Structure 1
Amino acid sequence: MNYLISRNEALKLLKKYGINKSIDDLKSKEVIQLTPYDKFRKENIELINAFNKINDSINFKVMRSEEYFFYVDKKINR
């Protein structure tokens, strides 16, 4: 699962973990290793909790013709 964070949050994480790499130079699907997963979860509890508050949803885009379509965004109830 992917979560989007702001540019400022990304820069704070890079600085926190001493990564001297520009996010402007990242290529599509490139990964920057910050720290091991377990350590990241322990050190970034607030960020992880914010991710958990994001509601799961599913998005549909239906087209009947080139000129007509509708879009539905529904929450997934557990």
Structure 2
Amino acid sequence: MGSLSITHWLIVLVIVALVFGTKKIRNLGSDLGGAIKGFKEGMQESEAAAPEATAQPVSANATVDAQTRRPVSQQ
């Protein structure tokens, strides 16, 4: 149960090309490349737009104020 050899991968590639056609595979590759490029640009924009957050340490004895609400009964 080792890894597949190069001949196995070539057979799989030929079968995929016959099933989907080279045009669909080419379009899929360009679409995937465009999506990755857009994702990288979005990440760079979000990093540039996000100000650096200065985290303040929370002590072990810190008190958290909160309010609770009763659920509204549905009638």
Q: Same fold (TM over 0.5)?
A: no
TM-score for the superposition, normalised by structure 2:
0.30
Q: Which has the higher contact order (CA 8 A, sep 6+)?
A: 1
Bigger CA radius of gyration: 2
